[in-house]
Amino acid sequence: MSATDICKELIGKSKLLQREVAEKMGWTEQSLSNRFRRKSLSADEFLKMLEILGYDIKIVEAESKDEVKIRRKGIGSPVKMMVGGVKYDTSKADAICHSDESKDMFYEVYRDDDGRYFIVNYVKWDGGVNTITPIGEEDAIRIIEETV
């Protein structure tokens, strides 16, 4: 069974149409159909589609049964910053979404293991400083829904 087969089956069980899943992925329906036909979903695309459909994958070490947490990496460089006495670190959080990249800046939304959301603002000019801003769950969800 391939990632494509799993996604097709889950779309069939979902209330979402294939067209709606494609749109949430940022694709056209034709693009999704082509990926399915070629069975060419990347691991990141597969995980994102599962999330859109309301599913999650857990990786468990066979002997110990301990869950292994695989981080969803962002597109920007790693950033660590202390804000309000709390240490935020992109390498210890999951990237959820990002804005379109302009020639000067873009942002990514992250969520850490404690459930805290934060935004990393990346700048691309010489001497610019990437910054982290904590954000509440309600605002984070609104931004995620607008971005995805």
The domain of 38 spans 3-60
Tracing tokens 């981080």 back to the chain, one arrives at: 71
**Sign of the torsion formed by the C-alpha atoms of 117, 107, 43 and 18:** positive
**C-alpha span between 68 and 62 (Å, rounded):** 10
Residues for the chain: how many in total? Answer: 148
Q: Where a domain ends, among 41, 60, 79? A: 60
Please indicate, yes or no, whether residues 53 and 115 belong to a single structural domain of this protein. no
* pLDDT (0 to 100) of residue 63: 93
Structure confidence by residue, pLDDT tens digits, 20-33: 999 999 999 999 99
Please indicate, yes or no, whether residues 49 and 78 belong to a single structural domain of this protein. no
Structure confidence by residue, pLDDT tens digits, 115-148: 999 999 999 999 999 999 999 999 999 999 888 7
Domain of 40, CATH number, reads 1.10.260.40
Structure confidence by residue, pLDDT tens digits, 47-83: 899 989 999 888 899 999 998 877 888 999 999 999 9
Angle (CA) 26-111-27 rounded to 5° is 5
